[in-house]
Structure 1
Amino acid sequence: MQDITLSAAVRQNLLTLQSTADMMSGVQNKLATGLKVNSALDNPNSFFTASGLNSRASDLSNLLDDMGQSLQTIKAADKGIQTITDLVETAKAKANQALQTQSQYERKTFSEQYNDLLEQIEDVAKDSSYKGKNLLAGDGNDLTTIFNEDATSKLTIEAVDYTDTALSTGLNLSDLAEGQGSATSFDLQGGKQTITLTDGTSTLNSSSALSDSNVITAGMTLEFVDAAASPNVVVGSTVTGGATVQDLVDGLNSVAGVRAEFDDTSGELTIYSDEDFHISDDASTHSAALSTFAVDATALATTSALLAETGSFAVGDTLTLTDGNDFELGSLEIEADTTVDDLESFVNDFNGVSASFDSGSGRLNITSETDLSLTSDNTDFASSGFTANTSGVTVSALSDSGFATDNDINRVVDRLNTALSNLRSQASEFGTNLSTVEIRQDYTKTMINTLQEGAGLLTLADTNEEGANLLALQTRQQLASTSLSFASQADQTVLSLF
């Protein structure tokens, strides 16, 4: 096909339209993308400079996300420390409560509550993690936060270990001994014998001579004999035949576990004994020559048995229950109708103490969670084998609680004060780290904005300017089209010659 020949005017107008169209395309691209430099072809220097700025801004944006996660990790640890501080203060309150009472049982209870609080402290420390990182869990949990793209600026926060309160590098708070109780028992047994002392016609009184009695002769020496021993043995002092009835009563009362009461009105002599017992006038065999003065002691078989009918208890006696700190739990006064059941109930009335009566053996079993003493103002209380038990019935706990003494409690309070000081110091350190990361986070946000703004200055298009350019090019295009039309009309006038 042969070439088509255009006039110079037409060709020039066509070139102008093509050039205007290319320029309009470029302006429209700038307006569409918002960039005046879209590739290295547009402006190599600006393009690569802006690319470097944007890359750094992107790297910092990634670090900014890491900073945000570091903040959350520190906040989780800070909340954990606040909670642990509250728990330590509660533990200190428990120690002070224990200091305000002398009751070993109450102190034992407080020591158990104290240990429960330490367990909660450990649980809180273990739960203070964020995304697998726990600043309260010690080794392997140090937190490093990077602040710039080449990692030359960073902050490392060392973890502390509160998951074990006993660690000397942590809180240094060890569990307290909660104490282990023990048990004891003692026999409840006895018997009595009542003899009327007369001279054959009338009753004797306490000042009467024993030789006036129709069963005791002048010059006779009476022995107080342990009937259960083999052979029988004298267990107390002797009374000569020249003594009075009161001397006999006093002699009987001098024997541990034996009590004598004489009624001047009726002339009745009542003898109570914890063991088999008799009075003998035979110094060689200690036999029960005076059988009327024998007492057959047996175990109390029922809870309704009267305590006052034994040698260990008398009407008016006061029993006192105390713990190892001499803290009095309570007291019981023995009356004529006080029974084994009353004694058992008395012991059972107190926390940490229990009593059970074995009717078969006549033993009262006592279990206590702390040291315990059951004493009486009667020196014959709980005597055994005609030997007085001056210390009463005692329970020695296998181990005492960690709050057993004031010194124990004061040592714990000192440790708690030190732990609180360390917690507050650690909280302050975490607070400083938190502020540091927040400040660097704000700085990084500003730096990213600066970098992106700088890149934008190199590559972003001025939409106002480009809009005006587009409007101008549209006008130019219209004018070029009109000019092309005029040039074509000039060529068409040649046709009029034909």
Structure 2
Amino acid sequence: MGDVTLSSAVRANLSSLQSTAEMMSSVQNKLATGKKVNSALDNPNSFFTASGLTSRANDLSTLLDDMGQSVQTLKAADEGISSITKLVESAKAKANQALQTQSQYERKQFTAQYNELLTQIEDLAKDSGYKGKNLLSGDGNDLTTIFNEDSTSKLKIEAVDYTDASLSTGLNLSDLAEGEGSATSFQLEGGKNTFTLTDADGQALNSSSLLASASGISTTNTLTLNEGTTTAVITGSTLAVTAGTTVQDLLDTIESVPGVRAEFDEGTGQVTVYSNDDIALQNDVSTTAQLVSVNATAFATTSDSLINSGSFETGDTLTLTDGNGYELGSFEIEEDSSVDDLVNFINDFQGVSAEFNTSTGKIALESETDLALTSDNSNFNADSYTADSDGVTISALSDSGFATDSAIDRTVDRLNTALSTLRTQASEFGTNLSIVENRQDFTKSMINTLEEGAGKLTLADTNEEGANLLALQTRQSLASTSLSFAAQADQNVLRLF
């Protein structure tokens, strides 16, 4: 095109059009991208400064995501502590309930419920994690939150371990012994026989009658209770008959032997002797003369009458109590009370069971706690003419953790300490959560500030650029018209031809 010659007017207008087109292209690019600096060629200083600000904003944005996850981890731990606190309060309520009763069995049940609550506390602590991080699971779960791009500003949150409630560095709440019961048995046996006290005329004696007036008994006689048919005299059972000895004295002598009792019919003079063991009432030790003998046998059926034993008498009251002296219930012996009635009475109570063995005549007694079966009859459970002062007793192999008031009080103290620990830890997590959330808000604001600063260096003013484009379009139109006029001036020479 070097051979083409343009007039100065055309060349000037063409140059103006080319310049305008370049400027329009630049303005259109700014409007299209929204930026007035798109590369280092546009404005090196602004471009690199804005790039630095944008890079920092991106780094902080990544940290902002991490802060958000830290917030969720803290919230999960806080929710766990809130729920654990409720369970600890429930455990304290169980301890207080146990304190309201003296029943060892009920306290044992409360102990089991308390232990179940501790298990749930541990399980809940294990389930309080978020994305593999659990601030309630101890070692290896510490949480570090970084707040700036060079990691010089950060917060380390130490985990606690509540997954094992017994840890002294945690809740310090150990499972309580639930107690282990024990068993024993006692014999049901006995027999009875009768003899009649009459005078020489065959008239029945009464309790105040002189014993020497009885047929076959004189003031030279000595009456003894022997072990069955032997001549072994039972200690304390010797009665030397004197002029003043009465029938009542004989009855008292019989009654004084443990496991032996006598009933006297004032109208007929008949004496009925009940005994747990074989026994004989002899007139003089040196002879074999017997006033009466009793052959005792083990009870063989559940229908056997209890009063056919030296241990029971109509009107006796049997009482079941536990190791705290708590009375489970009482049973009054009536004339028709049977072995089955006694077994049913014992089985009426939770934590206690009884079973009668017909082959041995024994009642097997089991209890989950300490237990005592006592009677207001001193002959109850007497054996081999020996008194049993405390009845039938069971000592549990181990007591429950709530067996005594002092044990419960100690547990309540530990629960109060655990509650205080939980509240302190909740407060600490709350403080950490507040710090992270504040830094999160600060980081959001800082990112906005950085992005705004970068924008001020690189973003275009669309209103201004729109006006520039309109002006350039006008300029382009005018330049095109001017170019047309200049070209027309050059065309006038053609008219000469």
The normalised TM-score by structure 2 is: 0.96
Q: 1:271 aligns to what?
A: 273
SS at match of 1:62: helix
Displacement of 1:185 in angstroms is: 0.8
Matched with 2:211 is: 210
Match of 1:221 in 2: 222
Determine the C-alpha separation between the residues in 1 that align with 2:231 and 2:157. 85
The more displaced of 140-149 and 327-336 is 327-336
The answer on 1:162 being equivalent to 2:190 is no
- Residue 299 of structure 1 deviates from its aligned partner by 1.3
CA distance in 2, matches of 1:282, 1:44: 139
Name the amino acid aligned to 2:482. Answer: S
Match of 2:427 in 1: 428
CA distance in 1, matches of 2:166, 2:231: 62
Whether the 8 Å contact between 2:47 and 2:458 is mirrored in structure 1 is yes
Corresponding letter in the other structure for 2:45: N
**Aligned counterpart, 2:26:** 26
**Residues of 1 paired with 2:29 and 2:289: CA distance?**
139
Conserved 8 A contact 1:352-1:368:
yes
Corresponding position of 1:86: 86
Q: For residue 373 of structure 1, what is the aligned residue in structure 2?
A: 372
Structure 2 residue 262 is the aligned partner of structure 1 residue 260 = yes
Cα distance, 1:380 vs structure 2: 0.7
Q: 1:34 deviation in Å? A: 0.3
- Please give the alpha-carbon distance, in whole angstroms, between the structure 1 residues aligned to 2:434 and 2:94: 35
Contact 1:279–1:288 (8 Å) recurs in 2: no
**What is the Cα deviation at residue 218 of structure 1?**
4.9
Unaligned runs of 5+ in 2: none
For 1:405 and 1:234, the matched residues in 2 are separated by 43
Q: Is 1:388–2:387 an aligned residue pair?
A: yes
Corresponding residue number in structure 2 for 1:360? 359
Alignment of 1:33-432 (within 5 A): 33-199=33-199, 201-216=202-217, 218-227=219-228, 232-242=232-242, 243-281=245-283, 283=285, 289-290=289-290, 293-432=292-431
Aligned equivalents of 2:112, 2:356: Cα separation in 1: 30
Please identify, of 211-220 and 483-492, the stretch whose mean Cα deviation from structure 2 is larger.
Answer: 211-220
Q: Residues 167-221 of structure 1: CA distance to partner in whole angstroms, max 9, x if unpaired?
A: 1101111111111110111001111112222236222222333343334455222
1:474 is aligned to 473
Q: Deviations over 1:3-30 (max 9, x none)?
A: 3333332232222222211111110010
Structure 1 residue 116: deviation in Å? 1.0
**Aligned-partner SS, 2:199:** coil
Quick check: 2:188–2:361 contact (8 Å CA) kept in 1?
A: yes
Letter paired with 1:463: T
- CA displacement at 1:234 relative to structure 2: 2.8
Task: Measure how far apart 1:421 and its partner are.
Answer: 1.0
RMSD: 1.7
Distance 1:31 1:264 in 2: 132
Q: Which amino acid aligns with 2:400?
A: S
Residues 78 and 429, structure 2, Cα contact 8 Å, conserved in 1? yes
Deviations 1:320-365 (A, max 9, x none): 1111111111111111111111111111111211111112211111
Specify the code of the residue in structure 2 equivalent to 1:269.
V
Encode CA deviations 1:296-330: one digit per residue, 9 max, x unaligned. Answer: 11111121211111100111111111111111111
Secondary structure of the residue aligned to 1:234 is coil
Contact 2:372 2:394 in 1 (8 A): yes
Structure-2 separation of matches of 1:2 and 1:265: 168
Indicate conservation of the 8 Å contact 1:226/1:235, yes or no. no
Q: Please, what TM-score do these two structures have when normalized by structure 1?
A: 0.96
CA contact (8 A) 1:280 1:289 kept: yes
Contact 2:221–2:284 (Cα < 8 Å) also in 1: no
Match of 1:460 in 2: 459
Q: Is the 8 A contact 2:231 2:285 kept in 1?
A: no
Separation (CA, whole Å) in 2 of partners of 1:310 and 1:289: 25
Secondary structure at the aligned position of 1:219 is classed as coil
Letter in structure 2 aligned against 1:405: T
CA contact (8 A) 2:372 2:391 kept: yes
- Contact 1:223–1:238 (CA under 8 A) maintained in structure 2: yes
1:278/1:288 contact within 8 Å kept: no
How far apart are the structure 2 equivalents of 1:288 and 1:475? 156
1:288–1:296 CA distance, 2 compared to 1 (3 A): farther
Distance between the aligned counterparts of 1:314 and 1:288, measured in 2? 30
What secondary structure sits across from 2:53 in the alignment? helix
Question: CA 1:299/1:158 → structure 2, altered by over 3 Å: closer, same or farther?
Answer: same
Closer, same or farther: CA 165–288 of 1 in aligned 2, 3 Å: farther
SS at match of 1:15: helix
How far apart are the structure 1 equivalents of 2:461 and 2:422? 57
> 1:384, CA displacement in angstroms?
1.0
Q: Distance in 2 between matches of 1:143 and 1:225?
A: 87
| CA distance in 1 between partners of 2:179 and 2:288 (Å) | 51
Change in 2 beyond 3 A, CA 1:2/1:100:
closer
SS at match of 1:237: coil
3-state SS of 2:328 partner: strand
* Distance (whole Å) between structure 2 residues aligned to residue 288 and residue 180 of structure 1: 53
Instruction: Say which SS state the counterpart of residue 449 (structure 2) adopts.
Output: helix
Deviation of the 1:83 alpha carbon: 1.0
| Paired letter, 1:300 | F
- Code of the aligned partner of 2:176: L
CA contact (8 A) 1:225 1:234 kept: yes
CA distance in 2, matches of 1:468, 1:215: 151
Once the 2 structures are TM-superposed, how far is the Cα of residue 386 of structure 1 from its aligned partner? 1.0
Farther-moved stretch of structure 1 (255-264 vs 479-488): 479-488
Structure 1 runs not aligned, ≥5 long: none
User: Is the 2:224–2:233 contact (alpha carbons within 8 Å) kept by the matching residues of 1?
Assistant: no
Listed one character per residue, the Cα deviations across residues 83-122 of structure 1 (whole Å, up to 9, x for unaligned) are 1111111111111111111111111111111111111111
Output one character per residue of 1:407-440: Cα deviation in whole Å (capped at 9) or x when no partner.
1111111111111111111111111111111111
- How far apart, in 2, do the equivalents of 1:304 and 1:76 lie? 66
